[in-house]
Structure 1
Amino acid sequence: MLAPRQKNLLFVCLALLWVAIMLAAFWWFEMRYIRPFDGRTQLFSGQTLRLPPDLAGQDTIRVVHFWDPGCPCNVGNQQHLAQLLERFAPRGVQFYALRKAGSHGQLPQNLAGLQNIDELPGSQDLPASPAVAIWGRDGQLAYFGPYSEGALCSSDNSFIEPILEALVDGRPVKADSTLAVGCFCDWPASGQESH
């Protein structure tokens, strides 16, 4: 049996060990998941982006989500995308997903309504992801760029809801080139991450 002084010493040692473990865990989490937001500006130009012939011009609004499973910026984007799917799919908007070539991963279950496409003409020129392209009922590219501006993406700072509302209501939209600051990862095969 331990003397009271030994019990106190044991308690202090265990408490210090616990604090050290918590600090190490926090440091590991910070190094792995928390990245500084440097505010890099990215230009999205949709001049070469086209729908595949089997999807073009069918009197339907189409949304294509560009994503890279290895990009931490997708995590914050996925809840917003699920809200868009829930809100606009019942109104006739079709949603598609194009995963970065050579990457592996699946979208979460709440995004099961997105139809996967393997290739999109002009997508090799995409500067960064996550990104979105929206085609109107006339088959013309209405919007190409990020979901929002800033470090986080939500319906509060999104560009997408107003564009989809306008297209659903039959109003024309032409925003096929966009300049924005946000959380992005490189799309080209280099795989270099940037923010």
Structure 2
Amino acid sequence: MSSKLHWVLLAVWSIILTSSVLYLSTLKAKLFDVNGLLLSNAMDTEFDHRFTSLIEETLGTRNGAVVHFTMDNCFCEYVAESHVMSVKNLASEHGFKNHVITLKSNNRFNIPSVPAVAVINQNGKLSYLGPYATGMFCSEGEGIVEQYINDNTEHNELGATILTDAQGCYCNLG
């Protein structure tokens, strides 16, 4: 290769690297429930029941389901991809069925951000609703949802854990 080609390739590589660093530096931890919509809805004592009924209406099932909420063109989902796959595998190992729902803004589930997940136990009760993890990289070590899949007993009489105050890499829907 000629010397000129080396310099051109180095310049292109430098531009790509600089652009990537600048883009990643614009990312910062965001609140999962930035407007408090999920929090205000979850205060209703019938929220868990309404949510699982909506899941059943949409998917035709609700017992033993892990519902993965996604949206198009969300960089944070790419970042969390390996964690999401590990959650799907864990859910399958524990007898849950994985379902994916692609959301748009103002969705009827009132999910404020993605990536998000809901765990509905084998008795049809909502156990967990919120992000997979906290932190900028939503990695497996920072996972939250796994404990609700691993512990499939119905011992929370107060209702589901609905995590609204998490901070991390999330794409807000509304």
TM-score above 0.5: yes
- Offset at residue 177 of structure 1 (A): 4.1
Q: TM-score, normalised by structure 1?
A: 0.67
Query: CA contact under 8 A between 1:147 and 1:159: conserved in structure 2?
Result: yes
Return the match for 1:137 from 113, 122, 142. Answer: 122
RMSD: 2.6
- Offset at residue 91 of structure 1 (A): 2.4
Q: 2:143 corresponds to which residue?
A: 158
Q: Does 1:64 align with 2:54?
A: no
Query: CA contact under 8 A between 2:128 and 2:161: conserved in structure 1?
Result: yes
Return the match for 1:73 from 73, 76, 79. Answer: 76
Q: 1:42 corresponds to which residue?
A: 32
Q: 1:180 corresponds to which residue?
A: 166
Q: Which AA in structure 2 matches 1:49?
A: F
Structure 2 gaps, min length 5: none
Return the match for 2:56 from 52, 55, 60. Answer: 52
Shift in alpha-carbon separation, 1:16–1:146, aligned structure 2, 3 A = same
- Offset at residue 61 of structure 1 (A): 1.9
Q: 1:99 corresponds to which residue?
A: 102
- Offset at residue 26 of structure 1 (A): 1.9
- Offset at residue 15 of structure 1 (A): 4.8
Structure 1 gaps, min length 5: 1-9, 103-119, 189-195
Q: Which AA in structure 2 matches 1:42?
A: F
Moved over 6 A (4+): none
- Rounded to whole Å, the distance in 1 between the matches of 2:6 and 2:84 is 44
Q: Bigger CA drift: 125-134 or 20-29?
A: 20-29
Query: CA contact under 8 A between 1:141 and 1:176: conserved in structure 2?
Result: no
Query: CA contact under 8 A between 2:132 and 2:138: conserved in structure 1?
Result: yes
Whichever structure has more helix as a proportion of its residues is 2
Shift in alpha-carbon separation, 1:14–1:86, aligned structure 2, 3 A = closer
Query: CA contact under 8 A between 2:68 and 2:117: conserved in structure 1?
Result: yes
Aligned residues: 153
Shift in alpha-carbon separation, 1:161–1:142, aligned structure 2, 3 A = same
- Offset at residue 16 of structure 1 (A): 4.0
- Offset at residue 153 of structure 1 (A): 1.7
Shift in alpha-carbon separation, 1:178–1:28, aligned structure 2, 3 A = closer
